Amino acid sequence: MNKLSPSILAADFSKLGEEVKKIDQAGAEYLHIDVMDGMFVPSISFGIPVIKSLRKKTSRVFDVHLMIEDPDRYIRDFADAGADIITVHYEACKHLHRTIQQIKECGKKVCVALNPATPVEVLEYVLDDLDMVLIMSVNPGFGGQKFIPFTLEKLRKLRHFISDRGMDIDIEVDGGVNLDNVEDIIKAGANIIVAGTAVFSGDKANNVKLFYDKMK
Ligand SMILES: O=C(CO)[C@H](O)[C@H](O)COP(=O)(O)O
Ligand SMILES: [Fe+2]
């Protein structure tokens, strides 16, 4: 099933609770929460206290995208704050296998994100332990960037890589997704769609509806 995961990075932070309620009521099944540390990526966004307070506003799936160096230091804290899925970057983990086990020990779903330049083959030995793979379709760090076209081919490659191994795990795509490219992205193999700017600009509830119409 295809699902939408609106990225709150594009929301109005001065009324975050209301914005989250609006997209929840519009039917978005996931909430994409971008945590940035100013080290792995240039920006600093928000962290654990924000997730804790949002947890009181919605029971939707919290899809927490950690763009932080050495995420092992904070896995337990993000799990306790209310994350359902914890995504770590391949490029930010010194010992990826250990980090994945830590997330599983917290009882949370595990996702590994790959930057645009990272090949899908790096996941060979950990794929069995993953619930989802996140393909970055922009270089992480900012919302509102342009979708990088070669990542479509990468999505196709990953879908084959997974099915060749007799598996069926979620593929999430993140960065520059909009109503004009989402159908091609789904055709290429993604089934969890992150969209920030394209959901939070203008009529949010209608944008969620328009995405789900295209994602059928
Ligand atoms: O991880 C991210 C940036 O690093 C964001 O999730 C992503 O950029 C979504 O925003 P938009 O849809 O505006 O591109
Ligand atoms: Fe993200």
Q: State ipTM.
A: 0.98
Pocket of ligand 1 (CB under 6 A): 7, 9-10, 32, 34, 65, 67, 138, 140-145, 174-177, 194-198
Report the alpha-carbon distance of residue 211 to residue 78 in Å, rounded. Answer: 28
CB 92 within 8 A of CB 67: yes
What ranges do the domains of the chain cover? 3-214
Ligand 1 atom 8 nearest Cα: 143
Task: Supply the mean pLDDT for the chain.
Answer: 98
pLDDT score recorded for residue 200: 98
Burial of 8 (0-12, 13-18, 19+ CB in 10 A): buried
Atom number, ligand 1, closest to the C-alpha of residue 199: 12
pLDDT score recorded for residue 184: 98
- What pTM was computed for the model? 0.98
Atom number, ligand 1, closest to the C-alpha of residue 136: 1
| Domain spanning 3-214: CATH superfamily | Aldolase class I (3.20.20.70)
Active site residues: 34, 174
